[in-house]
Structure 1
Amino acid sequence: MSAAEAAMVARDGAVSAASSAADSAVEAGSAADRAVGAADRLNADARTFGDAVRSGEFKGEKGDVGPAPDVSWAGDRLTVGGQTGPALTGPQGDRGPQGLQGIQGPQGDRGPQGLKGDTGAPGPANTLTIGTVTSGTTAGATLTGEAPAQTLSLVLPQGPQGDRGPQGPPGVVSSASAYLLVGPGRPDQPSTTAGVITGGEPVGAEYRSTDGAGVGADVWIKTSRGWVVSLGDTGWRGMIAATTGMFLNVRRTPDGVRVHGGFLFSGGGTKPAINTKTVLLDGIYTGGLLPNGFRPDTPTQASTRSIASLSAVVRSRSDTDPASSLGVLYVDTDNGDARANGRVVMKTIGGGFGGAIVEYPTAEPWPTTLPGTPA
């Protein structure tokens, strides 16, 4: 075949192929249009089917119950039908806040006795020291420190007063100088002792006055009632002048008081009239009583207003008639009328020359001054 012939053949083949291709393309476009229409119809049918299912219009018959799957846990993994899934535990989170305290549960039963342990080695000896001991309403004890040096402090409530115990033996004199003191003045007036008496002297102490305090109080002793004279004497002191026809002398000793009174008319003075009563100390209510330290020790009885007396009969000094009574001497006491305590009265019964002594105890303090003049 010649080239011209071959070209003609090729041209004819190409035209035929192009025609076939054009026909195929037209057929493909028709097929595509048909496919789009089918898809649209399928979508519309699907929507209709879905709407019917959702509305419950389209529901098939209930099927049979299927077999139960084999489900199990293995730690944090779930196994279903032999197939184990992944771990279900996530990573550990942060610690949450403290929860509220729960209520205490009931006490459990006591456990069995354990076996006895081995004996331990001896520890160091403990040194226990007593700390403070105080009083309080409730008893208590506090132990502080670490062994072997600890301190025990106590709180002790006061108990009821116990019965009085028996009399103990005499105590030991701690210092003889505290019980024997020497100085001027009188210890019941410390300012007169030049500082010897301080007020803290024990009961039983003795004070020896170097000047008798000017009232004949030489030795004193400290008692539970205070200082009292254990050795002293004021001497007789004349209370009235002899020119009155009478005499009256007083004297104080630790034993008590002596009052000596009588008549002196034979030695001078005026003889008193018979059956007259004379107050030997004038001015009974304005200083006529015996001075302090010389008055009777008779308790006051406020319910009465009478006057009791300490009296003695005045006897004669005559050698021819020594037993004759010349009068009576008496000292009034406070028996409801304090103004009369220490009043001295002499009553004459008959003429003569004589006297009498009245003696009585007294708890009055030792006089601070001496009355009258030495007799």
Structure 2
Amino acid sequence: MGRGLHRPAGRWDAQGWPQGAAGKGVMRSMTVFESIARLGPHEQVVFAHDPPRRLRMIIAVHDTTLGPALGGCRMWPYRTEEEALEDVLRLSRAMTYKNSIHGLRLGGGKSVIIGDPRTDKTSDLFEAAGEAVERLQGRYITAEDVGTNAQDMVMMRNATAYVAGLPQTSGDPSPFTALGVFRGIQACAQALWGSSDLDGRRVAIQGVGSVGFHLARHLVQAGARVTVTDIRPEKILRAVEQLGVDSVEPDAIFDVPCDVFSPCALGGAINDDTIPRIKAPIIAGAANNQLAEPRHGDILQQRGVIYAPDYVINGGGVINVAEELTPEGYSAERARAKVERIFDRVLEVIELSRRRNIPTYRAADEIAWQRVQDARAALKAHSRR
């Protein structure tokens, strides 16, 4: 089951785009149904097109066994519609596993809007997106993601009730995601060195956007020596000036001597080109789909590197948003307490990996999917009564 969570064969760049003839061939040769079949069954895939309001959106509902499908709405200038479909299918499936492993009563889904978040956002566009979500009548609940923010969710909320992560409730999930990643790094340290203390440890962070910046702050406060990079110079400057961290050019981050390499960009950073360059014994970061292909997780295990599976360590944001949907209503204190448990989740995955002698990404998949299977069995048993 784990292979569907990662990128298909072919070469991918550090931001997750297919490279060379092999990568392009994968994307262009796939039909819609072939793409869906290759990533495993999805309950529903919806294409929303509203030319007057310039909406091109895909909503993927992967699995609702555990509850309504919760997953963010990503806005990105995909090069092709096929790439957008590929992304939403991977991400929605990963959300099923993420929500499951963190014990949430929620299934997995995701949506993507094809467009440039810096230039294409309008209230009309997000109203149209909200209408598309509303038509699913609660099977899918959206929230912010890469390229969208809490204010965008407010605009969508004008057209649908099925939006979480609003400013007046859970708000920006980035600090909670960063806290979870920080606790996950501490868990990896505990597993490798016998102590979660990061004082004096060297950490290289690829990407210091909202999550990466908050993560760097946690690490600096814990006494770690931090080096950062980003494709946007202004983000590097902010981190250097406000946190006192070191910085390097984007490609040089893979060569920085460190104890922990933390991918916090868009994904695909762990690949054939970068693995030989990364000297860290721990890879733990906030990015989704960090492994360019599943076999890269196998290679990391063979090298003795502890890899914290992305959807386990970066679950803080969805845990925070999901708190809005509880019967008690949102509580920042409860959300934070649940995010702190990511430490235990990461340790559980590492322990299963060691016990079974399997890569950590497979161990995580087994734990997450078992909960879905157990829930399906319980539902079948109940229906027979």
TM-score (norm 2): 0.21
Task: Considering Cα pairs closer than 8 Å and 6+ residues apart, tell me whether 1 or 2 has the greater RCO.
Answer: 2
Say which one has the larger Rg.
Answer: 1
More strand by share: 1
More helix by share: 2
TM-score by length of 1: 0.22
